[in-house]
Structure formats: C-alpha cells, structure tokens
Structure 1
Amino acid sequence: MIVAFSISPTIGDETGSVSAAVAAAVRVVKESGLPYELNSMFTNVEGEWDEVMAVVKRAVDVVAEVSPRVGLLLKADIRPGWEGQLTAKVQRVERLLADR
C-alpha cells in the first residue's frame, strides 16, 4: 500500500513555522526504512498496512510532543500484492506522456 499523509501541528515556533515538527515526523519515516518520498505537501510511504500505519502513528506522536493538537490528513492506495509502486505508478504515466 502507499499512504500519502500530512501532519499539521497547531502551533509553530516564534515565526509561525512548523518545519521543525514536520522534520521530526519525516525523521520517523526515514528511520523506518520503508520507501518514501517527501514533497511540499505530503509524505508518501510504501509498505504493508501494519508497518505503514505504525510509522504514521509514531510520526503523529512525535509532533504531539510539541503541539497540544495535531491534524492528520491521510490518503491510501491499498493494492495487496503490489510492491515498488511509489515509483512504478509515476513511470507508467511518464511512459505514456513520452509516447505522444
């Protein structure tokens, strides 16, 4: 499965930035060893249901350490038996774009 998630702490630093809290969450993903991608809006992570959801929970927990309230937006592509789709899905679309 692939999960795209975004964690939003309700408080930031003195400038209003939430980058430090988001970096702590992404560190959890990185240390999980699961394939992931980071973009400006979401973190995408691929793996089995239990391992992906455990990573999302740990990421929320680290943000909750610095924020009294945390928002979580999550979208999942659940396709049992498929691996490597984090990049393969994009490659299929790029091949079709190149053919035209």
Structure 2
Amino acid sequence: MIAAFSVTPIGIGEEVAEAVAAAVKVVRASGLPHRTDAMFTSVEGDWDEVMAVIKEAVEAVKPFANRVSTVIKIDDRGGVTDGLTRKMASLERRLTD
C-alpha cells in the first residue's frame, strides 16, 4: 500500500519546518520507500509497517505542539510492489507520448 500523509503542528505559527523535519526524519529512518514534496510524504509498505511509521512521525511532531493535525490518503492495492516508482513512470510515459 501507499499512504500519502501530512503532519502539521497546530498553534506554533507559520514556521513549521523544524517540526515537519522531525516527522520526515522518522520516515527516512524507516527504510521504507518514500517521497516527500511540499505538501505530503508518501510511504510504501504493508499496512502495519506504514501505519507504524505514520504514528511515529506524529509522535515526533508532538514535542513542538500540543495539537497535531494529520491527513492520510491510502491506496491499498494487493499484489503491487514498487508502486511509488511504477505510478510515476506510467504517468511520465504518457506525458512524453
């Protein structure tokens, strides 16, 4: 499965980069395939692995704020591996045709 998620500390003002960096460090340390962009981090693995990483990422943000907002979108498709790379490769092929 692939989960795209964002973790946002609430009540600390507009500058949240340090708190978000703490969450992204958790994802990078997980060893799971992942990508981070300006809005979301996507992580790929089985349900338990991905949910554990998201939970740990939320916990990493909590020292920065008493309230944390988390948004998660999941694509749970059996039998698919390397979905992060394959989805983008498929899109890029269609863009260059």
Smaller-chain TM-score bracket: over 0.9
Partner of 1:48: 46
Q: Give every structure 1 segment of 4 or more consecutive aligned residues whose post-TM-superposition deviation is greater than 2 Å.
A: none
SS at match of 1:96: helix
Whole-Å Cα distance in 2 between the matches of residues 22 and 7 of structure 1? Answer: 7
- Rg larger in 1 or in 2? 1
* 1:94 CA drift (Å): 1.2
What is the percent sequence identity of the aligned residues? 51
Q: TM-score scaled by structure 1?
A: 0.92
Q: Measure the CA separation in 2 of the matches of 1:52 and 1:81.
A: 16
Structure 1 residue 12: deviation in Å? 2.8
Unaligned ranges ≥5, structure 2: none
Structural RMSD (CA): 1.1
Q: CA offset at residue 81 of structure 1?
A: 1.5
Q: Which residue of 1 aligns with 2:3?
A: 3
Equivalent residues of 1:11, 1:18 under 8 A apart: no
| Alignment counterpart, residue 79 of structure 2, candidates 70, 75, 81 | 81
What is the TM-score of this pair, normalised by structure 2? 0.95
State the 1:96 CA deviation.
1.6
Q: 2:23 aligns with which of 13, 22, 25?
A: 25
SS in 1 for 2:12: coil
